[in-house]
Amino acid sequence: MANLFHELRERLLRAGVAPRHIRRYLGELADHLADLTSEEERAGRSPQDAKSAALARLGTLDDLARAMIAKREFRSWCARAPWAIFGVVPLLLLAAAYFAAVLYLWFGWSVFLPDAETPFGRHGWQPLFSVANIYFQSGKLYYRLAPILVGASVGVAAARQRCTALWPMLSFILVSWMGSTAEIHASRTAVPRGLGHITMDFFAPTRSGETLLATLLYALVIFTLAALPYALLRIREAITS
C-alpha cells in the first residue's frame, strides 16, 4: 500500500499536479482504502486477503493517476506557466528583496549617520561592536544573501514538483546575473534623486571598480550556492526512489 501511494505521488508530481492537491488526494485514498478493507474483513476475509481485495477495488496505479492528471485545475503553476514561475517571478522576488535592502540602508543612514555624505566607506565607519556597525553589517549580509536565498527557494520548489533541470537552471542563471551586477549608490550629492539619495543599477556589464572576471566569478558563486539545494534534493530523490 505504501509502495502504491509513493509511486502514485511521484507520478502525479512529474505530471505537474500541485503538491497540495496530491496530499489531499492521497489522504482521501487512504481513508477510502481503510473503509474498503474493513468491508472485506466484515465479509469474512483474512486481514491480508482483505487488504489485497481492497487494493483491487481501489483501482490500478494508472487509473488513480489518470483521475488527477486529467483535471487541469489541479496542475501547479510550475507546470502551467514555467516561463513565468522560473523566469519572471525570481527576478521580481529579488527586486523586492533589494528594495527592502534599500529601505534598510536608508533607515540606518538616517538614524546612525544623519550628517554623513554616504553610509559607505570611511564616513560610515563605526567601532566593531557598536550598534551601528552591527546594523550595517547585517544589512550587507542580507544584501549578499538575497540572490542566493531567492534562487534556493525557487530550486526547492522545483525539486518538490520534480521539475526537469531546464527551468530551475534558467532561474539560477537570471538570479546570478542580476545579483552579480546589482549595485547600490548612496550619496547626498552624487545621487540627487532616488529613495533618500539611494539608487540601484541592475544588469550592468560590470560593477563599479570590478573587472568582468570578478563579476563572472561572483555570479558563479551565487549560481552554485543557489543551485545546491535543488541538486541535493534531486540526489536524495534518486537515492530513495
Cα 219 to Cα 212: distance, rounded to the nearest angstrom: 10
Do 57 and 10 sit in the same domain of this protein? yes
Cα 114 to Cα 123: distance, rounded to the nearest angstrom: 11
CA dihedral 7, 8, 14, 20 (to 10 degrees): -130
Cα 139 to Cα 92: distance, rounded to the nearest angstrom: 20
The number of domains in the chain is 2
Domain that holds residue 96: 78-240
Residue range 49-81, pLDDT digits in tens: 888 888 888 888 888 998 898 888 888 988 889
| Phi, psi values for residue 17, rounded to 5° | -70, 135
- The whole-model pTM stands at 0.81
Please check whether residue 8 is in contact with residue 64, taking contact to mean a CB–CB distance below 8 angstroms.
yes
Where residue 124 falls among pLDDT bands split at 50, 70, 90? very low
**Domain end position, chosen among 57, 74, 91:** 74
Cα 62 to Cα 60: distance, rounded to the nearest angstrom: 5
Do 105 and 205 sit in the same domain of this protein? yes
Where residue 194 falls among pLDDT bands split at 50, 70, 90? low
Please check whether residue 47 is in contact with residue 40, taking contact to mean a CB–CB distance below 8 angstroms.
no
**Domain end position, chosen among 74, 107, 137:** 74
**Domain end position, chosen among 74, 93, 122:** 74
Please report how the helices 131-160 and 89-112 are oriented relative to each other, as an axis angle in degrees rounded to 10: 170
Cell of 11: 507520478
